[in-house]
Amino acid sequence: MSDNIKNLASYVEKFSQLHMLCVGDMILDTFVYGKASRLSPEAPVPVLLKQKENSMPGGAGNVVANLRSMGCKTSFAGVIGQDADGDFLRNHMEKQGADCGMLLSLPGYPTSVKTRYVSGSQHMLRVDCEEKLNLPDAELQQLLSRIESHMAGIDMVLLSDYGKGLFDERFTPAIIELSRKAGVPVIVDPKTTDYTIYRGATLVKPNRKEFEGVTGQSFDPTADGFAEAAVAAGRAVCRRYGVGNLLVTLSEHGMIYIPGNERESYEWIPTEAKEVYDVSGAGDTSLAALGASLAAGAPMKLAMRIANAASGIVVGKFGTACVTPNELKMKLEHQEHADILTVDEAAELTAKLRAQGMIVGFTNGCFDILHPGHLSSFERARDLCDVLFVGLNSDESVRRLKGPTRPVNNQEARSAMVVALKAVDHVVIFEEDTALPLIERLRPDVIAKEGYPLERWPEGQLVVSYGGKAVELPRVEGFSTTSIVEKINK
């Protein structure tokens, strides 16, 4: 592990020493899973045959769940209804170890509920049951009083605004002022485009659409001059509304940090997520990881990398999900070569991909010196599947198969070159002489390789034996690693 990655992991290890306060809109997330295989005779809509139902905290509750999952001591302040849904949320968060002493139950106010109906990996419908919160002055002061009494020892305040009515012109400035008086930084995940209520916040974290709303401009991250234009517009927002800094999340284009101080440079980092299965709650995870990283003392660029890695983990899960410290440290460890997987990581990923209905492809070899024959094989194999895994013989395996003078390039160099190819999604290094044990673990839907008829191809026979497909690819004549090495040695 490089020193830089070790440094990132050291901040994650400090999470357990932090006391975080999340203030925000509480939502009950419910997922109804089933199978839709026919249309209703009553109307042209699919019929979902319900198989299971899961409920968990959403909105600010998901920020709390992620903070607890990452090991932070966490307190929560917000409003729920005096109803069964509110009781479920309070009990669920208390079981997770969150301090809910600042959670206010309001009579006559229904707890917000989002119910998603899902068939396989496809979201079919979302039904929202909610009412805009209008917190009476007496209850508002009661909530602020509870927060003020709990402020001692807090390392960071996270405001999770889902636009449900809590963060109005009375409450928001008051909670920011309480935090500032206590010397505690405040990060806001905003909903409104009127940042007047966020004045005094240390950092505001809009997504691209929200950023365009507050600046009144459109931004294309792929266009020349995007960063300069975004920074200029962002700094104008900071000056106008009196917020310290902005961090704009850009979906597949990563995130850009725009400091209000013009003497400080901006930071723009790419996204870490490659396969996206579900984005429910990814912003909550990003907020939790960013806040915890900054509270642990990480510089902004490193905190962004940690938050980005955390988001990359949860979008690979289904439903409203959380991140553990071990998952995060493992992700950071492999961040520099995120698509070079261990056998266990690859087995877990292929299982997820199959569950999402994707076709998993596989090919393997030593790939000591890449040549056009290899490139052709990778491209043809990728055409047969949604995601291509490449099994790569380890250095010891190559020596046993090819002799003591091989490989020419070590496994780190070979795997880095292979995974850099557009057609390849993931590389897995294996120690055995054949890929059979690896195939047993991954269970690919398709295996493809050039020059191997099925009767002389044990790996292909194995895939066929459990219902998969083996494809013999046409050989590109005139290229082989052995002949290239012989030419070099002449």
pLDDT on residue 384: 94
* DSSP H/E element including 94: helix 84-95
pLDDT on residue 480: 55
* Structure tokens that stand for 122 in this block: 């496809």
pLDDT on residue 337: 47
Query: Could you tell me which residues come within 8 angstroms of residue 374 by beta carbon, excluding any fewer than 6 positions away?
Result: 365, 367
Question: Could you tell me if 159 and 189 are in contact, meaning their C-beta atoms sit under 8 angstroms apart?
Answer: yes
Nearest to 195, CA basis, from 178, 215, 181:
215
> Distance between CA atoms of 447 and 364, rounded to whole angstroms?
9
pLDDT on residue 30: 94
Query: Could you tell me which residues come within 8 angstroms of residue 284 by beta carbon, excluding any fewer than 6 positions away?
Result: 58, 59, 60, 62, 63, 66, 160, 189, 320
> Distance between CA atoms of 7 and 336, rounded to whole angstroms?
14
* DSSP H/E element including 77: strand 73-81
> Which backbone phi and psi does 384 adopt, to 5 degrees?
-95, -5
pLDDT on residue 281: 58
pLDDT on residue 275: 43
Tell me the pairing of strands 255-259 and 267-269.
antiparallel
DSSP 431-481: -SSSSHHHHHHH--SEEEEET--GGG-HHHHHHHHTT-EEEEEPP-TT--H
pLDDT on residue 298: 94
> Which backbone phi and psi does 218 adopt, to 5 degrees?
-105, 145
pLDDT on residue 333: 66
> Distance between CA atoms of 273 and 265, rounded to whole angstroms?
25
C-alpha angle 443-394-486 in degrees, rounded to nearest 5: 120
**Annotated catalytic residue, options 284, 339, 425, 445:** 284
Rg (CA), the chain: 26
What is the set of domains in the chain, with CATH numbers? Answer: 3-338 (3.40.1190.20), 341-489 (3.40.50.620)
pLDDT, averaged per 10 consecutive residues of the chain (490 residues), comes to 60 95 95 92 93 92 94 96 96 94 94 93 91 95 95 96 95 96 96 94 96 95 90 97 95 88 87 47 87 95 89 66 80 63 87 82 90 87 93 92 84 85 90 95 94 89 96 72 51
pLDDT on residue 245: 98
pLDDT tens per residue, range 200-251 = 999 999 999 999 999 999 999 888 889 999 999 999 999 999 999 999 998 8
pLDDT on residue 5: 47
Is 284 an annotated catalytic residue? yes
pLDDT tens per residue, range 370-397 = 878 889 899 999 999 988 999 999 999 9
pTM above 0.75, yes or no: no
In this structure, the number of other CB atoms found within 10 A of the CB of residue 352 comes to 16
Q: Assign 3-class secondary structure to 294-327.
A: HHCCCCHHHHHHHHHHHHHHHCCCCCCCCCCHHH
Query: Could you tell me which residues come within 8 angstroms of residue 33 by beta carbon, excluding any fewer than 6 positions away?
Result: 50, 51, 52, 53, 54, 118, 119
Beta bridge partners of 112: 27
pLDDT on residue 421: 85
Nearest to 425, CA basis, from 462, 385, 470:
385
